[in-house]
Amino acid sequence: MSATTTFAETGQVPRRLRTLVRRAERQHLTKMLALMAPSVVFVALLFVVPIALFLFRSVDNVEIPKYLPNTVAEIGQWHEGELPPEGVYRALTEDLIALKGEPEAAVLGRRLNYSVPGFRGLVTRTVRQLPDTVPASARELLAGIDERWLDPVYWATLKQQSGRITDFYLLSAMDLKRGADGAITQVDETQAVFLSLYGRTLYTSVGVTVICLLIGYPVAAVMASAGPAAANWLLMLVLVPFWTSLLVRTTAWVVLLQTEGLVNKILIYLGIINEPLSLMFNTAGVFIAMVHVLLPYMILPLYSVMKGVSPVHLRAASSLGAPPVTVFRTVYLPLTIPGIAAGCTLVFVLSVGFYVTPALVGGPSDQMIGYFIAYFTNSAVNWGLASALGAFLILVIAVIYLVLGKVVGFDKLRVR
């Protein structure tokens, strides 16, 4: 009673009550945060940390400073256009002698070979033939073992790559390199792989997204306008592939698209074609299978938006005499744009990172960025380059999420 009076008199909550409420709120918040903590820690530890470490590999340059400490310290004395001074030769010789008989020599060689093909052989060969102590002229010693040590290309690489951080992998992933003078130039035409890879990845993803939109939109519209029972059945049909393992679906397509597969047999039986088409291991196969896998991701968000479009708007427009095409273009289409944006984002983002389906149904020249990330991780063991490619992929996806998130709102961009 007295509290109410005080409140009425002063228009303020008494301080004690306010503190109590605050404390209770704080306690409540602490409890809630404690509930969230395990998940947040889990995701931070198993997602944020690995991704950060993964991205760091794209600039990480551990091998050269670690295995050639003396050389890295001395190489600053060297200037382009002349042979390195004896001190630099001596430093390198000391470093390489320390690596004699160690597997680290091969690890260093592998890293240097990324920059200059043949550097690995030069290093391993030199290390094998070095004596145990440095003679009076280290330059003569090295040049005697292999005269490539008189070629400035190798020294320029050592100088450029002497830091703990390198831009080498990121540049490589853009078909760029640093010339002997340190300026950024394009790599040789025969070595330029990645720009066309991004082009192909974008082309395939955009193509798949557009096809999904064109065939998914009418389906979603029919579902949205159907009666509840029919809509439920249609929804089930869309959900069946959605719930089916990606691998089962891809396997099914492998069987169907083979030259002797069902698709060709049916087409020949129907007299549409005479000779079997090659549908596997080429772009056609990749499109057919990827659209199949991703179509539900287009239909579902479209459907959920279209279900919310009130038929009243449409009826109003047509009762005013607008022809169906105009009604569609001026009323229905604009109302469904959030669904289009959400569906396109989902399909595009998922297809940019696709790996399994193109690997199984695609031909060698249909592989997208995901394939190359896996290749450089597993087979070529060039983890820096794999990370650089991954960094670009993440960048593209982040930009799309940000742009579309602004347009549509993040809550609409959820999968499933």
Partner 1 sequence: MDKTRKGLAATVAFTLAIAVSHYASAESITVVNQGGSPGDAQKVAVFDPFTEETGIEILVDTYNQELAKIRAQVETGNLIWDVASVHSLNDAIGCDEGLLEPIDWAEHIDESKFEAVGGFTDCGAPYLVSPGALVYDADRWQGDMVPRSWADFWNVEKWPGKRALPFQPDQVLEIALMSDGVAPRDVPKVLAAPGGVDRAFAQLEKIKPHVLWWKSGDESMQLLLTNEVVMGYGWQGRVNVANRSSGRNLKIVWEAGYTSAVIYLAVMAGSPKVEQAIELVKYSLEAQSQARYAEIMGYPPANVDSYAMLSDENRANQPTEYLDRGMMQAGSLYIGFWRDNGDSIRQRFSTFTAR
Partner 2 sequence: MQNFRRRAGRGSLWQLALRVFVGLVLAYLVLPILVVIPLSFTAGQLLVFPIPGYSLQWYEDFFTNPLWTGALWNSVMIGVATTILATILGTLAALGLHGSKFRLKPVVVALLITPLAAPVVIVAVATFYFFASINLVGTYLGVILAHTLLALPFVVITVTATLQGFDTNLTRAGASLGATPVHVFRTVTLPIISPGIISGALFAFVTSFDEIVVALFVASPQQRTLPRQIFSGVSESISPTIMAAAVVLLVISLGLMIVMELLRRRSERLVGRAR
List binders of partner 1 among 114-133 (CB under 8 A).
Answer: 114, 117-121, 124
> Which of 68, 170, 197, 352 contacts partner 2 by CB under 8 A?
352
Q: From the CB of 390, what's the least distance to partner 1, in Å?
A: 15
DSSP of 108-120: HHHHHHHHSTTHH
- In the shown chain, the binding pattern of residues 202 to 241 toward partner 2, with x for contact by CB under 8 A and - for none, equals -------------xx-xx--x-----------x-xxxxxx
- In the shown chain, the binding pattern of residues 234 to 273 toward partner 1, with x for contact by CB under 8 A and - for none, equals ------------------------xxx-------------
Residue with tokens 């029972």: 229
What angle, 0 to 180 degrees and rounded to 10, lies between the N-to-C axes of helices 283-307 and 194-225? Answer: 40
Contacted entry of partner 2, partner 1, none for residue 397, CB cut-off 5 to 8 Å set by kind: partner 2
Q: Which residues have CB under 8 Å from 209's CB, separation 6+?
A: 298, 344, 347, 348, 351
Are 371 and 355 in contact by the 8 Å Cβ rule? The answer is yes
- In the shown chain, the binding pattern of residues 360 to 399 toward partner 2, with x for contact by CB under 8 A and - for none, equals x---------x--xx--x-----x--x---x--xx--x--
What angle, 0 to 180 degrees and rounded to 10, lies between the N-to-C axes of helices 119-129 and 152-160? Answer: 100
Phi first, then psi, for residue 165 (nearest 5°) are: -115, 140
- In the shown chain, the binding pattern of residues 26 to 65 toward partner 2, with x for contact by CB under 8 A and - for none, equals --xx-xxxxxx-xxx-xxx-xxxxxx-xx--x--------
Q: From the CB of 98, what's the least distance to partner 2, in Å?
A: 25
Encoded amino acid at 204, one letter: T
By C-beta, is 120 or 159 nearer to partner 1? 120
What is the C-alpha separation between 61 and 55, in angstroms, rounded?
Answer: 13
| Burial class of residue 294 (count of CB atoms within 10 Å of its CB; 0-12, 13-18, 19+) | buried
Residues contacting partner 1: total by CB under 8 A: 38
Are 296 and 304 in contact by the 8 Å Cβ rule? The answer is no
Contacting residues toward partner 1, per CB under 8 A:
102-103, 105-107, 109-110, 113-114, 117-121, 124, 189-193, 196, 200, 258-260, 276, 278, 281, 363-365, 377-383
